[in-house]
Chain A
C-alpha cells in the first residue's frame, strides 16, 4: 500500500512523506509490517521494527543480501517496468527517472564497499547482533539471515520471492513519486482486514510461549553453566526442579488476564496499534444487542482520540460489507461499525468446515494462471512493465506477469472456477484486478486467499449458470474494480460502456441484521434509522429462552411480548420471534391534553392493567463464603439460621437462605451466615429502595462436596410501566410516559369502540420525517383487519420480480394500504373519527390511529429517581453527598444559582444553598475576628449526682476565645460549614481570616 504521511518526513534528515507499506502475515497470523521510505536524493530505505524500535536499511543492501545477484540484474529489474515507447500510453507507470534512482540505490551500496552477498550479510549482521536475542554468539552471517527471515517480508519463505516483492515495492514507490499512481487510502475498507479474536489470542499465545521458552532456555543454561552444582540435563527431576521456578501455568494465566482486562502485556506490540481495550462484555439485554456484539467491527481505540473525522467517514468502498446505518451516534460514530447481514469473514476453514490447505490452493491457482498465459517469475527473465504486462501477486508473492491483453480473460476464468464447485480454487478467493489507468491505483492482478478478509455474496451474471450456483463471494479489494448492478433492472449509469458482470442479491444486503428489522426503513430520514438501531439494542425483550436457569448479573425481561404485525423478511429469516422485543400497541396521533407534549406519551392505564409492556428485572447475587474468608478458616463459615433470632424466621429458611417467592423489602435480611470460629451470626441485608421477590435460589456444591459455600440468589423486580418509563417505536421515536389514563378518559371510536393504548403528539412527525412509522400504522391496520402479517422489507420496490416484471409502479405503497382499509370500511388514509372520552363529543379533527410495534426501553424511573430531604452528609464539608445509591442529593450548581439570582428568588437560594445544605452556627470572637480560636468550656461536672429519672439540667453554654482568653465579645453567626472549613484550610497555610462583625442596623 502506498501512503503519503507527513510523519514520515520526521524519521530522519532527507526523508520524504512518501512510503510503501506492506503488512506481512505469517501462517499463524502474527504479522510484521515493513515500510519502504523514499528519500529526497532518490534512494529508498527499508524500515522495520525490532523490539519496539524502528530500524532503517538501504534497500540496495537488503536486495543484495537476499540473493546472489549483481548490480546489472538489480538495475534491470528495477527499471524493467519503464519502456520508452509506452510513456504517454494509458497505464504506463514508469518514467525516465527510474534509471537514475536505481543507480543511486546501487551507488549507495557501492559506497559502503559492499559488493557481494556475503559482504552485505556481514554488514547487516554486524549492525543487528546487539538487538537479536539469543544470537549474540553467532556469526554475523547467521544474524543477518535471521534478520531477513524474521523481520523482512515474513510471509514469504523464499529469498527470491522476497527479492521480487521488494523490487515490486520499489517500483510502486517510484510510481508514487512520479505521480503515475495515486496513494492508497488506509482508511478505506479496500485496504483493510479484520483482527479476529481467535487470531489475536493465537498471536498473543505465541508470543507468551516464545517468551517462556526463551526464559526457560536461559534458566537451564544458567544452571548448566554453574560448575559448582551437579546438574544433569538428562535427568527429568533436575529439569523439573528448575522449571518449577518458572511454571508454564503463567502462559495460560496471561491469556486469561488478557481476556479479562482486554489489555495486552507485550514487549513487541505484536504489530498492533493498541494495547488495551480488546475485550468488551457481551450483554444479554436482549438478543439483538447480544447478536450485535458479534457483528461489530471496531476501527481501533487509537482513532477515537483523533480530532480528524476522516477515519469516521462512510466511504463507498465499505458498501455491502459494513452497515451504513448501524453505527452509534456520538463518540464512537463511524469507528464502531457492524457487518452487514450478508457479510462474513474468511477463515482457516472452508465452507464445509474443513481446514484449508493453503499451499495446495496456491499451487492450483498458480497452475490455473499459467494455463491462462501468465509468465512465471522464477526464472530470471527480463520483464517489462504495466502497460504491456501486469504483475500477478498471490498472497503478497510476485508469482509472475500476465500480458494486459490476456488479463481480463484470465480474471473471468478465475471467477468461473471460483464459483464452480469442482475446482480447487476456493470460493472466497479475492481476484483484485486493478486495471490500467492514467495515474490511478497501481495496476496489477492481486490475488488473496488468506484468512481474515471480509467477503460477501453477489450474483455473477456473466456466467450462464443456474440461479443458485452463480453466487460468488467477493472481497472489498476487488469490489472497487467490479461492475455490480442493483437488481432494479436499471444499469446505474453504466451506459453499456462497462457492462455489469455481477448483480446484488437484494438491496437489503447492505444493512446489518438490526437495521434490517426496521420496517420500511427506506421511507425514513436516515438518522432515525440509526437511532432505531441503537434503541433496538436497549429494549426490554425476551433476552433468553432459559431464563429460569440463568444466573446473570442483571437481566431485563418483557412479560408479554408480541410478534410485530408489520415485519421485514429478515425478521422471519432470523427467527426473531424467538426473541421478540415489543408489543403491538394501538397508537393514536393527537394532541389530546398537553400531556403528550415534547415527546411525552399517554398510556392507557387499563391496557397496562391488562398486561401491556409488563416486565421484570432479574438480578442475581452470588454469595461465596470461601472467597470472602481467607484460606485458613475455610469451612468455618456456613449458611445457617439463628434459632434464637425469631424475627428473621419469616424471611429466612432453616438453611440460612431465603424462601423462594418471598418478598424482601429494602433493609430486610435475605440470608444468614454463621461463623464457627467467632461464634457470630451475620445477615446479608437487601440494599436499594424497592422491594424484590426471591425468584430462585441455587446452591453450588461444586468446590466443596460436603459443605455449602456458595449460593446464587436471584431476585425479581417487577417493572410494570409507570409514569416516567421510556418507550419507543421502531423508527427512532422515543418518548416518556407522562400519564397513565383510565380507559374511559381515552378518546374512542364510535364504530369499533376502540380506545388507543397510547397517544403520541403529532409534532413528533414533521421535523423527524419518519414516514415509515405512519406507513407501519396503516399497514398494520390493514394487516390486522385482513388477518395476516405485512411485509415491510425496505427497497422491495427496487427488486425485479422473479418473472422479470417489476411491480406496477403506478401503485404506491400508500395506495395499496388505502384500498385495503377502504374495503374493510375504514378511511383510506388511516384516520378515524374519534370522540372525546371525557365529554362524549366528536373531536374536531379526524385522528390517525393504528397499531404500531412499540418497544419498552430499559431506562426506567425506578432505577433513576433521586429524592432526598435530609440524609448522609460529607464528613469534611458537612454538605450532602452525591450519588443516587447512597441517598445523596443532586448538585445545585453555579448555573442553577445564576438562574435563581436572575429570578430574584433569594429566599429559595438561601434555602437550597444554606439551610438545606451545611447550615452551621459558628461562634465568632468579635474581638479578634476569628472563628477558629473559640472553644467550648466544659462546665465543671457537679459532684452531686442528678436525681434519678430526671434528665440532667442543661449546663449553660460557655464559649471562650483561646487567643483573647476571654469569653467577652462572643457572637454566634449562621454560616455554611464550608466557610469554617475554608478558614481552617487557610490557617494551615498561615493565612488568618478575620471576620468583622457589625450589627445590621448599625452598618
Chain B
C-alpha cells in the first residue's frame, strides 16, 4: 500500500450558469469529494450577514429580537467576504467588530407618518460600504417605479418608528444559517440506462406505453415513428426503481438495467444572491483546499504531536 497513490484528476464541466443558479458535472472523483464540496458550499463558504443590532427606537409590533433575527436573515452581497476578516481574529479592532476590515455598518431609520401602512424593507437599510448591500431581487426590467421590492422587515402603522444601527460581519453557515450562501446545493449520481432492446421489441405498444408511464418523471418515451422506446432524459431518473418494479410486475425482469456511475456527479447549486453561484463553487473549492492544507501542515509539523497527543500518534500508526 505504501506509496500507492489514489490521485485522480477530477473534471468539471459547466452546463448552465446564471447569477444565482449553476449546474455542472463533476467527473472522475468519488462521493466523498462530491459530498465534501456540497457540505462546504452550504456551511463553510463565508458571507456577510447582520450579526449585531443596536436598536434605538422600536415601536413596531414586532419585538427587538424578532427584528434582529429578520435583519440577520437578509442576504447581503458578499463578493469580498473571502478577503474580509472574521471579527474574532481581526487585529485592527480587538474583536469588537466595528472596523473596516471585518464589519460593515448599516443604518435603518423609518417612521410611518401617513395612514397607509409603511413597509420597511431591505431597501431601507443604508450601508456604509457600497460593496455590501442587501441583495436586490428585483428584475431590473420589470422594475416598477415607486414600488419597493426589497425583503419586508416589518410593517409600520401611523406613528410607529424603527431606528437602529446594525453591524454585519463575516461568518459561515456552520455557525448560523444566515451566513449560508447556498439556498440549495445538491448532486446526483449520473445514471446509466441500458434498455434491453430485444425484450423491449417483444412488448406490445400498449405494454410499452404502460411501462414508460410507470416512471413519474419523464425518462423514457416512445418514438412516434418507430414505436421504439428511447431514453429522452436519463438525468430525470430519480433512482425510484419504479420502472424496474414495473418491468418485474410485467414479468419481464431485466427489461432495463440502470446503474449509478460511481464517479460522476451532476451538481445543482442555487445561491441566495449573496455570492454568484459560480463564485460560490470557486470559493467552496478554495475553502476546501485551505482545509486540506491545514491537515497537511499539521501532519508535517511537530505541533501535531502536541495538538493531538496520543491520538496523533495513533493516527500516524504508532
Contacts and interface: CB of A to CB of B under 8 A. Distances in A.
Interface of A: 548, 559, 605-607, 609-611, 614, 616, 661, 693, 695, 716, 718, 742-744, 748-754, 821-822, 824-828, 831-833, 837-842, 846
Given A695-B63, A750-B238, A610 B187 contact: no
A833 B238 contact: yes
B88 to A, nearest CB: 19
Given A606-B180, A839-B31, A753 B174 contact: no
A840 B61 CA distance: 44
B93 interface: no
Nearest to B265: A840
Interface stretch (B64-72, B79-87, B309-317): B64-72
A828 B43 contact: no
Contact of A753 (B184, B240, B260): B184
A718 B65 contact: yes
Q: Say what secondary structure dominates the interface of chain B.
A: mixed
B174 to A, nearest CB: 6
B217 interface: yes
Contacts of B73: 610-611
Nearest to B268: A753
25 contacts: A548-B61, A605-B177, A606-B177, A609-B178, A610-B177, A661-B55, A661-B64, A742-B43, A742-B173, A744-B39, A748-B186, A751-B186, A751-B188, A752-B186, A825-B216, A825-B217, A825-B236, A825-B238, A826-B216, A827-B216, A832-B240, A833-B240, A839-B31, A842-B239, A842-B260
B294 to A, nearest CB: 19
B31 A841 contact: yes
B242 interface: yes
Contact of A750 (B55, B64, B69, B187): B187
A693 B238 contact: no
B247 to A, nearest CB: 16
B35 interface: yes
Contacts of A609: 176-178
B244 interface: no
Contacts of B64: 661, 693
Given A611-B69, A750-B188, A846 B61 contact: no
Q: Which 5 A-B pairs have the closest CB atoms?
A: A840-B35, A753-B186, A753-B184, A609-B177, A750-B188
Given A750-B186, A832-B238, A840-B187, 15 more contacts: A605-B177, A661-B64, A693-B63, A716-B63, A742-B43, A742-B174, A749-B186, A751-B188, A751-B238, A753-B270, A827-B216, A827-B242, A828-B242, A840-B31, A840-B38
B274 interface: no
Contact of A616 (B63, B176, B240): B63
A833 B189 CA distance: 12
B180 A842 contact: no
Interface of B: 31-32, 34-36, 38-39, 42-43, 55, 58, 61, 63-66, 69, 73, 173-174, 176-178, 180, 184-189, 216-218, 236, 238-240, 242, 260, 268, 270
Contacts of A827: 216, 238, 240, 242
B32 A743 contact: no
Contacts of B236: 825
A309 B156 CA distance: 57
Contacts of B63: 616, 693, 695, 716
A842 B261 CA distance: 12
B55 A839 contact: no
A548 B61 CA distance: 7
B167 to A, nearest CB: 18
A743 B217 contact: no
B281 to A, nearest CB: 15
A435 B270 CA distance: 74
B259 to A, nearest CB: 12
Nearest to B36: A840
Contacts of A548: 61
A842 B43 contact: no
Contacts of B173: 606, 742-743
Given A753-B270, A842-B260, A614 B216 contact: no
A544 to B, nearest CB: 12
Nearest to B262: A841
A751 B189 CA distance: 11
Pick from B35, B36, B55, B174 the residue with the most CB of A within 10 Å: B35
Contacts of A749: 186
A840 B238 contact: no
Contacts of A748: 186
Contacts of B35: 837-840
A785 to B, nearest CB: 12
A606 B178 CA distance: 8
Contacts of A840: 31-32, 34-36, 38, 187
A904 B63 CA distance: 55
Given A750-B238, A827-B242, A842-B239, A743 B216 contact: no
Contacts of A559: 66
Contacts of A607: 177
Contacts of A718: 65
Nearest to A743: B42
B44 to A, nearest CB: 9
Contact of A744 (B31, B32, B42, B238): B42
Contacts of A750: 186-189, 238-239
B168 to A, nearest CB: 16
A566 to B, nearest CB: 21
A828 B242 CA distance: 9
Nearest to B174: A742
B216 A822 contact: yes
Nearest to B185: A753
- Residue among A611, A695, A716 with most chain B CB within 10 A: A611
A822 B218 CA distance: 11
Contacts of B180: 606, 743
Nearest to A821: B216
A833 B238 CA distance: 7
Contacts of B174: 742, 744
Contacts of B39: 744, 837
Contact of A842 (B55, B176, B185, B189): B189
A492 B42 CA distance: 60
A548 B160 CA distance: 13
A837 B42 CA distance: 11
A611 B72 CA distance: 11
A693 B64 CA distance: 10
Task: Among A611, A840, A842, find the residue whose CB has the most chain B CB atoms closer than 10 A.
Answer: A840
A693 B186 CA distance: 40
Contacts of B69: 611, 614
Contacts of A743: 42-43, 173, 177, 180
A840 B174 CA distance: 18
A749 B270 CA distance: 14
A987 B240 CA distance: 81
Contacts of B55: 661
Contacts of A828: 216, 242
B220 to A, nearest CB: 14
Contacts of B65: 616, 693, 718
B240 A846 contact: yes
A505 B238 CA distance: 46
A839 B178 contact: no
Nearest to A608: B177
A718 B63 CA distance: 11
A742 B174 CA distance: 7
A173 to B, nearest CB: 67
Contacts of A826: 216
A693 B68 CA distance: 14
B262 to A, nearest CB: 10
A752 B260 CA distance: 18
A833 B237 CA distance: 11
Nearest to A827: B240
